[in-house]
Amino acid sequence: MGRLHALIILAWALVRTVVTNLLGGRRGLAAFQRSYAADRVPPVSLEERALLPLLGGCVACGLCDVGEGAARVRSGGAYAGVMDLMLASSRSMPDFDAAARSFAAVGDARLAELETRCPARVPMRQVAGFVRGKAAELTQLEPARAGHGRSAA
Ligand code: SF4
C-alpha cells in the first residue's frame, strides 16, 4: 500500500510539472527562488557552478586536522576541524551559516598554510569564500521564509 501511495504521489507530481512547464509557469530565477527559499537553497551563479567541481576534491586523509586540536577547543564547538569543513559542512548549503562560523574559527591565513599540505590540492580558501558568500545570501532569504511556505512542485 505504501508503495502504491508513493507511486501515485510521484505520478501526480510528474503530471503537474509537465503541465506547468507546458503552460510556461515556474521558469527562471524567480521561480527557483520561490520554490527553494524555504529550503534555504539560494541559486548558484554561472561562475559558482564552474567553481563547484574544484571544491569537492577532499579525499579524507585527515592531514589538515593535524595540529587543529587547540583551535577546536577554543571554538567552543563551532569548529570540528578542516576535514569536516571540506568534506561535510561545505556541502550542505542550508547549513552554510553554521559552516561560516566554523570557517571563522580557522581563518584564511591558517587555511593557506593547510592548503600546502593537502595532497588533493583542495582550494580551502575558495571553499571558505563560497560558503561565506552563500551564508550571506541565506540571511537575505529569511524574509522569504517568514512570508511564504515552499510552493508546490
Ligand atoms: S588535507 Fe586535503 S584531502 Fe586531506 S582531509 Fe584535508 S582537505 Fe581533505
Rounded Cα–Cα distance for residues 78 and 51 (Å): 26
Res. 34: pLDDT tops 90: no
Ligand 1 centroid to 62 CA: how many Å? 6
Residue 85 scores a pLDDT above 60: yes
Tell me what the mean pLDDT of segment 19-24 comes to. 80
In a domain, 152, yes or no: no
The domain containing residue 141 runs over which residues?
2-147
Q: With 90 as the cut, is the pLDDT of residue 25 above it?
A: no
Residue 31 pLDDT = 84
How many other β-carbons are positioned within 10 Å of the β-carbon of residue 9?
A: 10
Q: Which residues have C-beta atoms less than 6 Å from ligand 1?
A: 58-64, 82-83, 86, 118-120, 122
- Is the residue at 113 inside a domain? yes
- Closest Cα to atom 8, ligand 1: which residue? 58
Whether 151 shows a pLDDT value over 70: the answer reads no
pLDDT at 145: 54
- pLDDT reported for residue 62: 97
Number of domains in the chain: 1
Residue 150 contacts residue 35 (beta carbons within 8 Å): yes
Structural domain contains residue 125: yes
Classify residue 14: in a domain, yes or no.
Answer: yes
Using DSSP's 3-state secondary structure scheme, residue 29 falls into helix
Question: 17 lies in a domain?
Answer: yes
pLDDT, mean over the chain: 89
- Tell me the CA–centroid distance for residue 119 and ligand 1, in Å: 7
| Cell numbers placing 73 | 577547543
Q: Give a yes or no: residue 138 inside a domain.
A: yes
What is the value of pTM for the model shown?
0.77
Query: Which pLDDT score is estimated for 86?
Result: 97
Q: Over pLDDT 90: what percentage of the chain?
A: 74
153 lies in some domain: no
Domain assignment of residue 139, yes or no = yes
